[in-house]
Amino acid sequence: MSKYSILLPTYNERENLPLIVWLLVREFKENGHNYEIIIIDDNSPDGTRKVAEQLQQIYGEETIVLRPRAAKLGLGTAYVHGMKHATGDYIIIMDADMSHHPRHIGGFIDLQKKHNYDIVTGTRYSKGGGVHGWDLMRKLISRGANYLAQVLLNPGVSDLTGSFRLYKKAVLEQLVAKCQSKGYVFQMEMIVRARQFSYTIGEVPIAFVDRVYGESKLGGNEIVSYAKGLLHLFATT
């Protein structure tokens, strides 16, 4: 039976972590899939690691695998760190802030099995997908960023900036070895590199929901980093 490793990078997600873990456990138990949840906490000052340790006591060390880091070192490197400890045949990356609902995972797995895709990615920008909880300005920024990336990079997917994906483990390992980005640009570069290697990619419409608890990690620095990363990929790929 295939095993799925879910990577959950966390930073100040004390309120969200128990709910996302409960939903993940329910989703995988109902569908009978073998799984593990790897929590990569970057030394959150709000006590997220303590909550993760409590969840490990509840669900067991085989289900909840804790791989914390000493500091906030970036989203891309968090996935690299978690992947090193993953024992699954497939790796699922997603946000821990409830923006990505685990109910979509079944669709990811079914589509991957049907077509043997190397990657399945969630999309907010195809029929059946959408964004909830954002104001008009943030929607325009997201749409604009995605449109610009489509024009410059021609990635072959409708949502290049999404971060809810399923990878074959061997595929993810090869892409990570080639990826140079460490922040939010990491997700974009992974798809661009996948195109270079001619990996197959499927898309599943998802409903993206803005976080209820905590503060968004997206700020001015991340927007500047995105613009620089986009131009770098355009110039080098």
Domain chopping of the chain, boundaries: 3-236
When the candidates are 3.40.50.1220, 3.40.50.720, 3.90.550.10, 3.30.70.340, the CATH number that belongs to 3-236 is: 3.90.550.10
The one-letter amino acid at 94: M
Q: pLDDT tens for residues 2-43? A: 999 999 999 999 999 999 999 999 999 998 999 999 999 999
Cβ neighbourhood burial of 150 (10 Å; 0-12, 13-18, 19+): middle
Give the CB-side neighbour count of residue 44, counting CA atoms within 13 A: 22
Up-side HSE of residue 18: CA atoms within 13 Å toward CB?
11
pLDDT confidence of residue 20: 96
- pTM, to two decimals: 0.86
pLDDT tens figures, 114-161: 999 999 999 998 888 877 766 777 777 677 777 777 767 777 788 887
CA–CA separation, 235 vs 237, rounded Å?
Answer: 6
- The count of other CB atoms within 10 Å of the CB of residue 199 is 18
Residue 18: which H helix or E strand, with range? helix 17-31
Q: Identify the burial level of 162 via C-beta atoms within 10 angstroms of its C-beta, where 0-12 means exposed, 13-18 middle and 19 or more buried.
A: buried
